[in-house]
A and B are shown apart, each in its own frame.
Chain A
Amino acid sequence: NSSSAEPRKRKEKEVFQIDFMDADNLDEDSLFSQGGATIYLPKTQWKSTTRNLLPDDIHFSSKQLLSLFIKPNYIQMAQIEMANMLIWTKSFG
């Protein structure tokens, strides 16, 4: 899994330090120069139609594909084979 290996490979970041002793003076006018209208989130993104909520989870699972509608506790042999197939496919997907 590449995502877990990545941070280990990355070499130790050099510790960044400000040299406060160099008596450098930042120009406050340029530091605080105004951003105007560009620093705002576009108004179209102020409202979300879904209120950023998940849709209702129906919890669809292999069980619904493998069982019969009107006799839910009854399992056929062919369905056991199919169950294995579903497990393999899902474990990859």
Chain B
Amino acid sequence: MADPVENICSTLPLIFSDAQRTTATHRKLVNSLRSIQDACATKHALKGERAFNDEFKRNFNRILPLKKSEPTSDRIIRFSAAFVQHIQKKDATKRQDMMEDDEDSTTMRFVAFFITHLLRGLEAKEKSVRLRVCQSIAMVMACLGEIDDDLYQALLLGLMKRVRDRETSVRAQAVSALARLQGEDESGEGIQAVLLELLQHDPSAEVRRAVLLNLAQSKITLPYLLERARDLDAINRKYVYSRTLNELGDFRLLSIGKREKLLRWGLRDRDAQVQKAATNMFSMGWIGHANDDILELFERLDVVNSKIAEEAIMRFFKTRPEFMEGIEFNDFIWNNLTAESAFLARTFNEFCYENNQVSHLIEDRMPEVTELAFIIHEYVSKLRNSDEEMRQEVEFIVEQLLMIASTMDYSDEIGRRKMFTILRELLRSSDLGESLTARTVEVIKVITPRETDFCQIILEVISDLHDTIDSITIGENTSIPGTPANESFHSAHSDTSDQTTPRTSPRKHIARTHRKEPESPSVIDTGEERLVKEIIVNMRCLHIVQCLLENISGGLQYNSQLKSILSALIVPSVRSHEAPVRERGLHCLGLCCLLDSVLATENLMLFIHCFHQGHEVLQIEAIHIISDIVMVHADKVLGDRSLSFDQLVKFFIKALSLEDAPEVQANACIGAAKLMLSSVLKDDELLETLIVLYMEPSTSTNLPLRQALSYFLPVYCHSVPENQYRMQKISISALHKLSRIYSELEEEEEMLPPVQIAAQLVDWTDPRKLAAAQEISLKYKTEPKKMLNVDIHLDLALDALHQIVQIGTKDERRALCSILCKLHITNECNSTKLQKVYDMAAEISETKAVTDTIAKNALARFEVSIRKLLEVLAGDPAEAAE
């Protein structure tokens, strides 16, 4: 047999050659390599070992300079790691067999040699060398037993530097290598701190992912890991649900608040993959940890207060429909409902109601109308007898039952009557909470098909309730000036127009009486008590009116009962000195205005007044009401007689300017957006205001405003040709304003640079985007396809050229030039305009008005491209005429 050391120069390269091709033969090759190593060591002792090590190193070095994407390197690295693992295992077996503790074996010496070699490359100039070295260390670390302390310290030091490498992939490999050193000793804490910092701050998603997947879970690290559920990168977010939370196992280790947040983030993520991972976590993982018992799962979610439990259970039903067959609701359950079982019944019913494949389950699982009416009755009585602690849960149960009731079939007259009687009684009870009141009115609406009947029923309840005010007045206090008889609900017949005449409400008298007679405490007591009762009753009446008004659409003029409630309850409330009553009155008046354009015309100025005089909440209410009124009645309510278009625009611009009230700004923004989209408002200044607001730094933390505009603006521009032209008209002026804001930016303020704003403006005015949207809309009609707004970018170019010669900041000029290069201008454009644009560009170049090199070059390029278009048009007159 030949000398193994002499042959090493041919045997090892052969093994490496095979190993680079496929990993399938690695196991066999690892064995061969080990035999050679053994042979060398046996025959020539340390000298033989060294020869083997050097030859191994020589071959291994070859893969270090290879590019990131070469699978050859990956295979050789895997092979080397497999070899390290194999020889260590051999050593361990040998040690066991020999019962000896050999600190210094061939294996140990090889491992030390190999790692020392790798350490040399950690700070190499070539990025591929650093990458391969870090990758090798990470791989070898994964299967490494104990190593020498000096080596460990050297590795630690080297890797700590590499997690700050310039190259993303090097950092990612260094992270996985470093993560393997965790928990060795006290230096583990240092490693953990560095990894946690990278997890939050590394600019690369790949590096953050490497930490997310390799950092050991502990009480300290878990919050950091879970925070990645909102990482900028969708894959990282997905891994939180599919890996981190899966490894965590039992979700009870999380607080209820955390469970709620994670579900909300995951199920409502914008990325479908993240949603899927979150759905799986809930429908497979969490239900499993609750012993496949949905009620047990609900108990851990706080269904009464949860905002996401409903979405979660709907996803669950959708992904695991087989579960639904097994869910039963027997008499015992209906008689002993808990928040959880009531919630399950309601969501089960809703899912079946909306999904045909399971709709047959309703009949089998849900009670009939009459039964349900009795069940509701039972829990309503329970509600009356429950203490403060129980009340919230019973209220929740009743609400779920009412939601079931609103989907029922009421063709059975007996059941319908029973339900009706119970609901009317429920609505009459004075202590019914607001959300239950709203639900009750909704169900009454469902079971009362005719709107006039529905109105009458609700109004009767209100009238009965309202009468109790009079009984307070008469029975308890006679020293206060009596309420005029015509203030009572029944006798009020004032029509909608008389509400502008000032009237003194009884509440005003009360307020005066207080101030005048402070020396008579007994009167104050009864007076105050009465006042409080009266406010409570009024608030309740107004709330029921509100629920009623939200559910009807018929005209006010044809409904005399409704008119009387307007003059007897709503109008006096609007004038009340009690702020809550007044504000609720305004809300109801707003709802009435939606039903009647005359009433709306008369009251628009009143709401404008509220906006100017009121606090933030009232300002928002005014914006809502005014926007809705104009949305519903459009130009019927605008004009000389009430609010002019200009006044309306000014109103919005004023509201949008309230920097200290971001919520007011955001609501004004949505209100204006709606009216602009429905083409009620067509105003350049308003659009420009919105653009500036969208970009300027003062709104950078106003997320509702920013997100509304980022949805609205492209829709606005790309849907209607006229809108896009309006955007073109204001683009350059908006850019000018924004450039100035940009040049005066404070240090902590952030804003898009003008060049990027310009790119956005070009996109909004791109005629191709408009055309594509229009094309889809015309798909089913036979109108001929033609390019819309064909000259729009040409017009934008003209505006930009005009502005270039004006005095502006350098950033603005560059932005203007960047616009020129991105425009969609073709030979379909108007040739006269093209010529004009060309002449102007040529003139600017000639006069040397532009000195900035970048700007000058852009201008020259633009000039050439327009000249070419003009040549094409001149060469083909037929095409030009088209």
Chain A: residues with CB nearer than 8 A to chain B? Answer: 16-21, 23-26, 28, 31-36, 38-41, 45-48, 50-62, 64-66, 68-71, 73-74, 76, 78-79, 82, 84-86, 88-93
Contacts and interface: CB of A to CB of B under 8 A. Distances in A.
B718 A89 contact: yes
B227 A53 contact: yes
Interface in B690-709: 703-704, 707-708
Nearest to B595: A71
A69 B670 CA distance: 10
A45 to B, nearest CB: 5
Contacts of A20: 12-14, 16-17, 20, 59, 62
Nearest to B161: A40
Interface string B612-631: 00000000000111011001
Contact of B625 (A70, A85, A88, A90): A70
Contact of B13 (A21, A36, A54, A60): A21
B715 A68 contact: no
Nearest to A47: B201
Given A46-B164, A58-B704, A84 B777 contact: yes
B673 A55 contact: no
Contacts of B774: 88
Contacts of B303: none
Interface in B21-58: 21, 58
Contacts of B549: 71
A48 B671 CA distance: 35
A59 B431 CA distance: 35
Interface of B: 9-10, 12-14, 16-17, 20-21, 58-59, 61-66, 70, 72, 120-121, 123-127, 129-130, 161, 164-167, 171, 200-203, 205, 208, 227, 230-233, 268, 270, 549-551, 553, 587, 590-591, 594, 623-625, 627-628, 631-632, 667, 670-671, 673-674, 677-678, 703-704, 707-708, 710-712, 714-715, 718-720, 769, 772-774, 776-777
B17 A92 contact: no
Contacts of B550: 70-71, 73-74
A40 B163 CA distance: 9
Contact of B671 (A38, A41, A69): A69
Nearest to B621: A70
Contacts of A57: 268, 270, 707
B62 A18 contact: yes
A28 B133 CA distance: 13
A51 B226 CA distance: 13
Given A69-B671, A85-B777, A16 B72 contact: yes
B703 A58 contact: yes
Given A35-B125, A76-B632, A40 B164 contact: yes
B17 A64 contact: no
Given A18-B62, A51-B200, A70-B625, 4 more contacts: A31-B64, A55-B703, A59-B268, A93-B714
A89 B164 contact: no
Given A70-B591, A86-B719, A93 B130 contact: no
B769 A41 contact: no
A72 B674 CA distance: 14
A60 B62 CA distance: 55
B624 A23 contact: no
Contacts of B551: 73
A55 to B, nearest CB: 6
Contact of A31 (B21, B61, B72, B673): B61
B70 A16 contact: yes
Given A34-B124, A91-B776, A41 B171 contact: yes
A35 B674 CA distance: 58
Nearest to B162: A39
Contacts of A54: 230-232
B62 A39 contact: no
9 nearest A-B pairs in the assembled complex, by CB-CB distance: A69-B624, A20-B13, A35-B125, A51-B200, A20-B16, A88-B776, A89-B773, A68-B628, A60-B707
A34 B120 CA distance: 9
Contacts of A90: 715
A22 B166 CA distance: 34
Contacts of B230: 53-54
Nearest to B130: A39
A74 B58 CA distance: 78
Nearest to B553: A74
A17 B776 CA distance: 51
A14 B718 CA distance: 46
A62 B724 CA distance: 19
A34 B125 contact: yes
Contact of B72 (A18, A34, A46): A18
B297 to A, nearest CB: 25
A93 B707 contact: no
Contacts of B120: 28, 32
Contact of A52 (B203, B670, B671): B203
B310 to A, nearest CB: 15
B777 A88 contact: yes
A88 B714 CA distance: 12
18 contacts: A17-B21, A18-B62, A20-B20, A26-B61, A31-B126, A32-B129, A33-B124, A35-B126, A41-B171, A48-B202, A52-B201, A56-B703, A58-B704, A62-B711, A66-B674, A74-B550, A85-B719, A89-B714
Nearest to A38: B166
Contacts of A51: 200-201, 227
